[in-house]
């Protein structure tokens, strides 16, 4: 066995192996921060990719990871044609893993601290005009259970700014039509109370009276879920996206994602003079900086109005 083979064999048995430390980190992430399954899957995929790449170069343990190796990895990802946003996400996952390893005395220092990642040009979110959003909410027909359900869904997505996963996760006890509020469980299982619009209350009332009982009779085993699919089970985000795309195609308009309705909710509130902190609370953002992007959207909209209407613009 030559020296390089000895190094690989030694590293593969090390207590700081990339695979073992990644697994421990992901377990801690799930237990301590209660992150979503989607986030865990993304972390797992990104860390496994780095571990496989490092292993091919003879580095199996975190103690063998240094700034030079990380820069080589970023260069490797760039050569493969990954988008800057994807590379930034992978670097963020590595930085989190290495930071956790330092805190838990697996390695003495985090070699990813200060590691440069591709700078991202954060695009402004797509926003519908108020009339477009209202028209979209009125597209589902009200003469069948699915149409009634979809109208209530869209009214909540736009009228309360919910994420698609949040609206699908609602239970019967989360909505109160008498106070026009909905209790939402967001990221990190943080709960918030959000007002409902009058159209949302009306659409929900119709759905609860007629459509939901019809769907529930199909026996999907989800009696606590607010929104049900055709089998009577809890409605999933994929079905919501498909329904929205189908509605837009029927109108001959480009498809929009459910998140566009959330963006529109926030932007229209700010256009109407809402306080930024209030919008942050309703959206469930942990940082005000995340909400501030909508102020830029509103500024852009004001600029458009100005240029279209002022005689000296």
- How far apart, in Å, are the Cα atoms of 258 and each of 99, 133, 139, 282? 35, 11, 14, 17
| pLDDT computed for residue 7 by the predictor | 37
Catalytic site residue from 7, 85, 183, 187: 187
Domains of the chain as residue ranges with CATH:
3-103 (1.10.150), 130-309 (1.10.443.10)
User: Is 262 among the residues known to form the active site?
Assistant: yes
User: Is 158 among the residues known to form the active site?
Assistant: no
pLDDT band at 196, cuts 50/70/90? very high
Closest residue by Cα to residue 129 from 245, 271, 283, 278: 271
Helix axes 84-103 and 37-56, enclosed angle (nearest 10): 90
Percent residues over pLDDT 90 in the chain:
43
Average pLDDT of the segment spanning 126-141: 88
Average pLDDT of the segment spanning 179-191: 89
| pLDDT computed for residue 174 by the predictor | 96
Instruction: Please state, rounded to an integer, the average pLDDT across all residues of the chain.
Output: 84
62-89: pLDDT as tens digits: 888 998 999 999 899 988 988 888 888 8
Cα angle at 143 between 139 and 144, to 5 degrees?
Answer: 95
Half-sphere exposure of 22 (CA within 13 A, CB side): 22
Res 178 pLDDT > 50: yes
Catalytic site residue from 163, 212, 234, 268: 163
**Hey, which bits of 55-213 come out as E strands?**
175-176, 181-185, 191-195
More confident residue, 13 or 23: 23
| pLDDT computed for residue 305 by the predictor | 59
172 contacts 152 by C-beta, under 8 angstroms: no
* Torsion angle (degrees, nearest 10) of CA 31, 36, 37, 40: -70
User: Is 45 among the residues known to form the active site?
Assistant: no
| pLDDT computed for residue 165 by the predictor | 92
Average pLDDT of the segment spanning 255-266: 88
| pLDDT computed for residue 236 by the predictor | 92
Average pLDDT of the segment spanning 271-296: 85
More confident residue, 266 or 12: 266
User: Is 67 among the residues known to form the active site?
Assistant: no
Average pLDDT of the segment spanning 139-151: 92
99-131: pLDDT as tens digits: 999 999 899 988 888 776 666 556 667 888 888
Q: How many residues does the chain have?
A: 313
User: Is 68 among the residues known to form the active site?
Assistant: no
Catalytic site residue from 95, 262, 263, 268: 262
Res 140 pLDDT > 80: yes
Res 216 pLDDT > 80: yes
User: Is 163 among the residues known to form the active site?
Assistant: yes
């Amino acid at each position: 066995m030559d020296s390089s083979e000895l190094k690989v064999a030694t590293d593969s048995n090390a207590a700081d192996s990339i695979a073992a430390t990644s697994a421990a980190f992901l377990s801690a992430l799930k237990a301590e921060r209660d992150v979503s399954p989607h986030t865990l899957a993304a972390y797992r995929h990104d860390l496994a990719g780095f571990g496989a790449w490092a292993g091919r170069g003879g580095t199996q343990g975190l103690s063998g990871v240094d700034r030079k190796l990380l820069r080589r990895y970023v260069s490797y990802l760039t050569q493969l044609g990954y988008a800057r946003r994807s590379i930034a996400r992978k670097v963020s996952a590595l930085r989190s893993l290495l930071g956790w390893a330092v805190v838990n005395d697996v390695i003495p220092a985090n070699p990813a601290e200060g590691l440069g990642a591709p700078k991202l040009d954060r695009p402004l979110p797509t926003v519908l005009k108020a009339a477009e959003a209202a028209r979209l909410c009125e597209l589902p027909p009200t003469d069948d259970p699915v149409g009634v359900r979809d109208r209530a869904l869209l009214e909540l997505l736009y009228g309360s700014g919910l994420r698609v996963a949040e609206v699908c996760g609602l239970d019967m006890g989360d909505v109160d039509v008498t106070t026009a509020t909905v209790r939402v469980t967001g990221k990190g299982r943080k709960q918030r109370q959000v007002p409902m619009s009058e159209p949302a209350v009306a659409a929900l009332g119709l759905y609860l009276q007629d459509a939901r009982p019809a769907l529930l009779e199909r026996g999907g085993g989800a009696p606590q879920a607010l929104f049900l699919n055709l089998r009577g089970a809890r409605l999933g985000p994929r079905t919501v996206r498909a329904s929205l795309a189908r509605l837009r195609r029927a109108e001959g308009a480009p498809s929009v994602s459910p998140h566009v309705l959330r963006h529109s909710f926030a932007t229209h509130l700010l256009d109407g003079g809402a306080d930024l902190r209030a919008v942050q609370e309703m959206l469930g953002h942990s940082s005000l900086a995340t909400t501030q992007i909508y102020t830029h959207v509103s500024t852009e909209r004001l600029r458009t109005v100005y240029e279209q209407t002022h005689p000296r613009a």
